[in-house]
Amino acid sequence: MKNLISLLIRIGLVLFSWGTLIFLPKKSFAKYLPVTFFSTSILLVEALLGRSYKWWKIKGGEKAATNNALAFVFGPYFIGNIWIFHLTYGKFWLYSLTNLFADSLLAFPLNSLFKRFNLYKLKKFKPIHLFLTAFPYSLFNYAFQLYIDKTQQTNIFETRK
């Protein structure tokens, strides 16, 4: 029964996340897609490291671990990243506060909820470690998006010459 609940949670997270895109302008999706792929890649590396170094435990073995990672990374993280950039980019303080809130929510109450539903159990990683890795990622992502914007502006000016 708990496996079924875990499966339904994973499917629900992905479907709900992607379903919200009907409200997002296509231009924003395209603009923030590169930084989202960049940060998603970093998070996938963290997921692999987490399994290798046993930072957390997932019932069901490698298949369940892979399913969980893919559901979280390509569901709420991927789409949430695009939404946060869409709603806050250009206002660094708002972006930082939004990520501070979202990362705190993940690390503490949601982490407990996911543990209760047997999605994963932290071992060598603690909730504070989740927060202390997630929040700096968001700052790095912001810097990466600034770099993308600067590069695109430079390319626009060079083609106008």
Please give the pLDDT value at position 159: 59
Please state the rounded mean pLDDT for residues 45-52. Answer: 89
Q: 41-44: which pairs have CB atoms within 8 A and are 24 or more residues apart?
A: 42/137, 42/140, 43/73, 43/77, 43/137, 44/69, 44/73
pTM of the model: 0.89
pLDDT on residue 51 = 85
How confident is the model over 103-156, as pLDDT tens digits?
999 999 999 988 888 788 889 889 999 999 999 999 999 999 999 999 988 776
Q: Return the pLDDT at 160.
A: 57
Give the pLDDT confidence score for residue 87 in this predicted structure: 98
For the segment 2-30, the average pLDDT, to the nearest whole number, is 93
pLDDT one-digit tens code per residue, 57-107:
887 788 888 888 999 999 999 999 999 999 999 999 999 999 999 999 999
Rounded Cα–Cα distance for residues 117 and 105 (Å): 17
pLDDT of 104: 97
Q: What is the pLDDT of residue 131?
A: 95
Whether residue 1 is predicted with pLDDT greater than 80 in this model: the reply is no
Helical (H) or strand (E) element with 118: none
Measured between its terminal Cα atoms, the distance across the chain in Å is 65
pLDDT of residue 125: 87
